[in-house]
């Protein structure tokens, strides 16, 4: 497929966007922060029946606040929402946020995924973890795979956790005409199989005896799935663009971005998932023509699906769960 990737092929190719991770490999958990200290117009789309979020209501149209300063993705289930407090503390110290009296109030939405099933369920991202991730945030290349919010992520759970594979964190960025950029970052903890839409092939599905994959979709369709409990699956996504968009349009773009999730995760948006997309529009480039907005929509879907695929393919085995790449190599060997 013809495509136009950016220099780093990462969300940080969008000017003003920085990414930082806090990773605990021993406990198999972590968190990731996407910083936009100058502020960006934010939007959100929450799907599935089991989301865990903070400050998502203020991103919807009709709310007073329209600019956010960071987004936090964290493991640790609902405990991981604490990480956002640490990011707020860091940004306040930097003088970032809405000025009030002698202080600043940074706006930091957050979402979590469930990774308590591997590693240690007693260790979760804390406010200190979020602070450290924010301190480490930078532009340039973004570490991918079993890092940050993707550290304890798992995928392909239709045959139970004992047959799953490692998920991970991935990023990608699309370049369009006139300097338009759309970057995506995804922490992939999906219950479903992972599909590479470019090649039309499964890259992660429940492990089969003797190597290879079971057909996770068939297990689900036939009612034979033995997947995890509801709430243990989630794909968390952040989309950043240099387009100039109002709040209504960032929310619409977040809804469209979910198509990328549905193309790369099968099935997505189930009652047991907490799939969420955040959108950050930095406003450098006017998108006034219908053709330009159509390009923005298409680039967004493309960036999300590639970030999901890269997150899974970049993962390494952890806490006894092999990665898709490791399992495939073992099966061939």
**Quick one: pLDDT at residue 204?**
97
Residue 132 lies in a domain: yes
- The pLDDT of 14-22, averaged and rounded, is 98
**Quick one: pLDDT at residue 210?**
83
Residue 78 lies in a domain: yes
- Token pair, residue 86, equals 């640490």
Which has more confidence, 330 or 161?
Answer: 161
Residue 1 lies in a domain: no
Residue 297 lies in a domain: yes
**Quick one: pLDDT at residue 332?**
56
- Token pair, residue 213, equals 């994959």
Residue 206 lies in a domain: yes
- Token pair, residue 180, equals 């338009």
| pLDDT tens sequence across 178-211 | 999 999 999 999 999 999 999 999 999 999 998 8
CB distance 62 to 70 below 8 Å = no
The residues, ordered by sequence, that sit 6+ positions from 131 with a Cβ below 8 Å of its Cβ are 86, 87, 89, 90
Residue 3 lies in a domain: no
- The pLDDT of 42-68, averaged and rounded, is 92
Residue 104 lies in a domain: yes
Nearest to 240 by CA among 30, 37, 21, 23: 37
Task: Output the domain CATH number for residue 69.
Answer: 3.60.70.12
Question: For 2-16, 170-184, 257-271, which range has the lowest pLDDT when averaged over its residues?
Answer: 2-16
**Quick one: pLDDT at residue 2?**
46
Q: Compute the distance between CA of residue 252 and CA of residue 234 in angstroms, rounded to an integer.
A: 21
Name the average pLDDT for the chain. 93
Confidence of residue 59 (pLDDT cuts 50, 70, 90): very high
The answer, yes or no, to whether the previous bond of 211 is cis (omega within 30 of 0) is no
| pLDDT tens sequence across 264-275 | 999 999 888 889
| pLDDT tens sequence across 273-314 | 889 999 999 999 999 888 999 999 999 999 999 999 999 999
Q: Compute the distance between CA of residue 35 and CA of residue 70 in angstroms, rounded to an integer.
A: 4
Residue 32 lies in a domain: yes
Confidence of residue 229 (pLDDT cuts 50, 70, 90): low
Which has more confidence, 270 or 225?
Answer: 270
- Token pair, residue 201, equals 């092939």
- pLDDT of 1 over the 50 cut: no
pTM for this structure? 0.95
Q: At what angle do helices 290-314 and 247-264 cross, to 10 degrees?
A: 40
- Token pair, residue 286, equals 């006017």
What is each CA distance from 173 to 6, 14, 77, 322, in whole angstroms?
6, 8, 28, 27
**Quick one: pLDDT at residue 222?**
86
The domain in which residue 21 lies consists of 11-332
Confidence of residue 230 (pLDDT cuts 50, 70, 90): low
- The pLDDT of 51-78, averaged and rounded, is 94
CB distance 295 to 253 below 8 Å = no
**Quick one: pLDDT at residue 331?**
64
Tally of domains in the chain: 1
Which has more confidence, 179 or 48?
Answer: 179
**Quick one: pLDDT at residue 264?**
97
Confidence of residue 169 (pLDDT cuts 50, 70, 90): very high
| pLDDT tens sequence across 237-248 | 999 999 999 999
């Amino acid at each position: 497929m013809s495509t136009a990737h950016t220099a780093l092929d990462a969300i940080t190719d969008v000017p003003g966007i920085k990414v930082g991770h806090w990773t605990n490999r021993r406990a198999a958990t972590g968190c990731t922060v996407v910083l936009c200290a100058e502020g960006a117009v934010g939007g959100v789309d929450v799907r599935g029946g089991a989301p865990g979020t903070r400050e998502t209501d203020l991103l919807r149209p009709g709310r007073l606040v329209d600019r956010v300063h960071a987004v936090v993705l964290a493991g640790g289930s609902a405990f991981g929402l604490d990480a956002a407090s640490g990011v707020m503390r860091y940004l306040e110290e930097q003088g970032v946020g809405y000025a009030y009296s002698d202080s600043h109030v940074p706006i930091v939405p957050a979402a979590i995924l469930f990774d308590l099933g591997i590693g240690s369920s007693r260790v979760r991202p804390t406010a200190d973890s979020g602070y450290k991730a924010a301190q480490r945030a930078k532009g340039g290349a973004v570490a991918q795979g079993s890092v940050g919010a993707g550290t304890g992520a798992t995928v392909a759970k239709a045959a139970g956790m004992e047959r799953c594979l490692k998920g991970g964190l991935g990023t990608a960025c699309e370049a369009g005409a006139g300097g338009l950029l759309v970057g995506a970052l995804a922490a992939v903890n999906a219950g479903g199989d992972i599909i590479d839409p470019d090649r039309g092939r499964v890259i992660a599905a429940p492990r089969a005896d003797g190597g290879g994959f079971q057909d996770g979709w068939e297990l689900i369709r036939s009612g034979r799935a033995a997947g995890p409990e509801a709430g243990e699956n989630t794909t968390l996504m952040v989309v950043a663009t240099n387009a100039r968009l109002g709040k209504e349009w960032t929310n619409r773009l977040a809804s469209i971005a979910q198509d990328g999730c549905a193309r790369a995760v099968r099935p997505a948006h189930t009652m047991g998932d907490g799939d969420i997309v955040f959108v950050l529009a930095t406003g450098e480039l006017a998108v006034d023509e219908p053709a330009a907005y159509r390009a923005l929509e298409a680039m967004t879907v493309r960036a999300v699906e590639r970030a999901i695929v890269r997150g899974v393919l970049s993962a390494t085995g952890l806490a006894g769960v092999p990665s898709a790449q490791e399992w495939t190599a073992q099966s061939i060997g």
